[in-house]
Amino acid sequence: MSYLYTAISWVLLRWHDLWDNVVGSADALNTSWAWLLSIVFVVITLRIVLFPLFVKQIRSQRAMQKLAPEIKELQAKYKNDKETLQREMMALWKKEKANPLMGCLPILIQIPVFISLFRVLERVNPSKQEDFTKEKYGWTVEQFDSFVHEGKIFGAPFWASFRTDGADISQAGADPVTVKVVAIVLMLIMIATTFLTTRQMILKTGWSVDPTQRTMQKVMLYGIPLTLVFSGLFFPIGVVVYWTFNNFFSLAQQQYVLRKYPPPKQNETYQKPPKPGTKAHDKMLEEQKEAEERRKARAPKPGAKPQKAKGAKSGQSGQNGQNLSREEKIARAKKVSGASSDNGKKKKKNY
């Protein structure tokens, strides 16, 4: 993994060289803006590189949603033949150019990047390193010392974490209480934005109809933020900043891509039924009762003759005759006979 550490360090340091020439040693709000912008632009660099894969991820999800009814039919048809089911599903995916693994690819690529940045910023710690190791992963002694003593956000060094010993923080010229407060606030923002990012994706794509996939969606929505409550205490503040800005960037990027590639109309979304005792549940029961009463009202009564549809063309006169009463039939017969006699008189007159 050392080559990844070196690559991430190279990107971070190149952005720092650029921003150091632009803003210099500006430290408004007790923040080193050159180092902060360097971390932010590491996020932007990664998101730009991964953007084509992110678009493919959304397209693949849309294709899978479009194929959901067909996949459901295959599962019902080959429920006792797993081998045939797998073969038919792979053939369907290949035909429609859908790849279920594409949805995980961007996340799998971001994991080693996150680990690399974590290791790089964790290493840049004055209590863990000697002078001769400062140049590891492409760092110079000047860059190392600048990051240790100048790299901070609101007075909290980027290399420190909530769990960092107060003596080490004081040795670097920072306040341990400030570090803990900044770490907690940033960690809460990181957890909230992680939840919102996952929630945005699930709501736009829809809850899966499949129970297993729906469980996985819930694990991602609630499980990952929950793990960050504990693991975030060990993250260097620079890593928390990276994760938080990555979430903000993801929210904007997802909003754009999801609007451009909306879910297919035939996609089935899972709607959780309302809880018993609530107004929504009572309304649902009332609607079901009304629908049942309408169905019973339309149903023919036992022993009743089926009624013919109005406006039928074929055999219309015969059908009308069957539906007429006895008096109406007599009146119609007299009318027909009267018309026949009038016609006979007219013919005689002509002669």
Q: Return the sign of the alpha-carbon dihedral for residues 18, 21, 26, 32.
A: positive
The pLDDT value recorded for residue 271 is: 52
For position 106, what pLDDT does the model report?
A: 64
**Bridge partners for 200 per DSSP:** none
Q: 152 - beta bridge partners?
A: 157
C-alpha to C-alpha distance for 299 and 302, rounded to whole angstroms: 9
Distance of alpha carbon 351 from alpha carbon 348, whole angstroms: 5
pLDDT digits (tens, 9 = 90+) for 173-213: 888 999 999 999 999 999 999 898 888 877 766 666 556 66
% helix, strand, coil for the chain, step of 5: 75, 0, 25
Q: What pLDDT digit, counting tens, does each position of 132-156 carry?
A: 577 888 888 888 888 888 889 998 9
Give Cα separations from 337 to 129, 203, 319, 346, 349 (angstroms): 121, 75, 21, 14, 19
The closest of 206, 190, 223 to 58, measured between CA atoms, is 206
Q: How far does Cα 271 stand from its chain's mean position?
A: 15
- For 105, other C-beta atoms within 10 Å of its C-beta total 16
What was the pLDDT predicted at 315? 45
- Tokens standing for residue 55: 């678009």
The whole-angstrom separation of Cα 337 and Cα 295 is 46
Q: Give the per-residue pLDDT at 14.
A: 93
- Give how far Cα 91 sits from Cα of 79, 97, 99, 145, 273, Å: 17, 10, 11, 58, 35
Question: Where is average pLDDT lowest: 29-38, 117-126, 231-240?
Answer: 117-126
Confidence label for 100 from pLDDT (cuts 50, 70 and 90): low
- Residue 204: partners with Cβ closer than 8 Å, 6 or more residues away: 254, 258, 263
Please tell me which of 85-89, 228-232, 335-339 the model is most confident about, judged by mean pLDDT. 228-232
Asked if the model's pLDDT at residue 38 lies above 90, the reply is yes
pLDDT reported for residue 261? 67
Mean pLDDT of 311-321: 46
The CB-based long-range contact list for 17-26 (8 Å cut-off, 24+ gap) reads: 25/150
CA distances from 11 to 39, 40, 46, 138, 254 (A): 9, 11, 10, 10, 24
